[in-house]
Structure 1
Amino acid sequence: LGLISNTSILELSVPSVHDGGALVAFGSGVVYITLQSVISFKSCPQWNSHSTCYIRMAISVVSWIAVIPMIACASLISITKIDWIPGEKDYTYHFVSAVCEWTVAFGFIFFFLTFIRDFQVGIYEPKQ
């Protein structure tokens, strides 16, 4: 729901809907990967290795560390624009928020890449 409203509403047309969608997408995504990391620990070592569990939890912690300043700095930005110039008002907040946003986004990607081994184990092969 957050991604739909975030991607379908342009940032400058209705900023509050765009920002709300980003908040839902990133917030619920971080909660999801944290819960999935806990499930990984519960199913260890039957379904995955301890190192995979620790990698998933590390990604979850980094995502939590990045999502909090992302939300805080994004809420402090008083103007909405696309092109920013260093030294402008709220540039630092925008920069920190953008770096944290990309950190969380890449965290999601790397988190989901840790499931490659899980899905390779469960390949169904029909009987001949």
Structure 2
Amino acid sequence: MWWFQQGLSFLPSALVIWTAAAFIFSYITAIILHHVDPALPYISDTGTIAPEKCLFGAMLNFAAVLCVATIYVRYKQVQALNPEGKYISKLNKAGFVLGLLSCLGLSFVANFQKTTFFAVHICGAVLTFGMGSLYMFVQTALSYLMQPKIHGKQIFWVRLLLVIWCGVSAFSMLTCSSLLYSGHFGSDIVQKLHWNPEDKGYVLHMITTAAEWSMSFSFFGFFLTYIRDFQKISLRVETNLHGLTLYDTVPCPINNEQSHLLSRDI
């Protein structure tokens, strides 16, 4: 059996591969059509103009669905492993909510372009990166609390390093973008897709875009750490029939049917 056939390990793998493909395909299309500069454009800039914005939006919407599924499975896994852990249970629920908010933000980023709906796009970016960073922090805290009985120390340290990487990137992006969009470098920066080294704010722009790509890679790395955990998970769907037909109103014995959902038992 291949590693991606074990449990639900294909979920985080598909999430990372699909999202990376969305970025890469949109970037290549935007470069070929000369819509953005090859040197580190904003991720959102590669999905601003048609036709790449159509590809960017469609692929990121599906990525948001994969992200919701991955976050839900992780939530159920922690819940099952720690049915009586008070603090772990609260952190797990908080992480689940933060993860869903991050997925919602990703959908906003996909469907509301920066040059058209700037306020909504920024709100989506804040939800995606901000709530996503907090989600990573909560999951790292859970990994610490669950060691050594359930989690090994190695996975905790890997996730901690990824959270630190994400935090440094987030601080750099927030600081430089605040300076860049403060109004001291012109009022057309929001619409600006092509930058020259002679332009005001070019250095801040490059640092901001590099930090944005760096944050995305830290997210990819973090979700890849779920692969080993998900190899030991399988989900079932249970159907309860409360009538002999779909139109029965009189209670009758319940017929239960259980079938595998997405994967077979390990």
Alignment of 1:89-100 (within 5 A): 89-100=200-211
Residue matched to 2:265: 125
- State how far apart, in whole Å, the 2-side matches of 1:100 and 1:88 are: 20
Q: How far has the Cα of 1:11 moved from its partner? A: 1.5
Deviates more, 1:26-35 or 1:44-53: 44-53
Aligned residue number for residue 3 of structure 1: 106
User: Take 2:229 and 2:149, find their aligned partners in 1: how far apart are those partners?
Assistant: 11
Is 2:164 the partner of 1:61? yes
- TM normalised by structure 1 equals 0.89
CA distance in 2, matches of 1:119, 1:13: 39
- Distance, in Å, in 1 between the alignment partners of 2:177 and 2:160 is 25
RMSD of Structure 2 on Structure 1 (CA): 1.6
The answer as to whether partners of 2:114 and 2:121 remain within 8 angstroms in 1 is yes
* 2: CA distance, partners of 1:73 / 1:7: 23
Q: Which letter does structure 2 place at the counterpart of 1:28? A: M
**Identity in percent:** 31
Q: Could you tell me which of 119, 134, 155 is aligned with 1:52? A: 155
Question: Could you tell which deviates more after superposition, 65-74 or 101-110?
Answer: 65-74
Aligned counterparts of 2:214 and 2:118: Cα–Cα separation in 1: 22
Equivalent position of 1:29 in the other structure: 132
In the alignment, structure 1 residue 104 sits paired with structure 2 residue 104: no
The alpha carbon displacement at 1:75 in A equals 2.1
Instruction: Assess if the C-alpha contact under 8 Å between 1:48 and 1:118 holds in 2.
Output: no
Decide whether aligned partners of structure 1 residues 19 and 104 sit closer, same or farther in structure 2, where only a CA change above 3 A counts: same
Residue by residue over 1:33-74, the C-alpha shift from the partner in whole angstroms, topping out at 9 and shown as x without a partner, is: 011000011111233321111000110011011101211211
Q: Does the CA contact (< 8 Å) of 1:47 and 1:118 recur in 2? A: no
Equivalence for 1:39: 142
**1:86 is matched by which residue type in structure 2?**
P
Task: State the distance in 2 between where 1:111 and 1:97 align.
Answer: 21
The CA distance in 2 between the partners of 1:21 and 1:93, in whole Å, is 22
Which structure's CA Rg is the greater one?
2
Report how many aligned residue pairs link the two structures. Answer: 126
| Larger deviation, residues 29-38 vs 40-49 | 40-49
How far apart are the structure 2 equivalents of 1:95 and 1:47?
42
> Is the 8 Å Cα contact of residues 23 and 71 (structure 1) preserved in structure 2?
no
Q: Which has the higher strand share?
A: 2
Q: Higher mean Cα deviation, 72-81 or 98-107?
A: 72-81
Tell me which moved more, 18-27 or 71-80.
71-80
- Equivalent in the alignment of 2:175: 72
Gaps of 5+ in 2: 1-103, 182-188, 235-263
Q: Please state whether the residue corresponding to 2:116 is helix, strand or coil.
A: coil
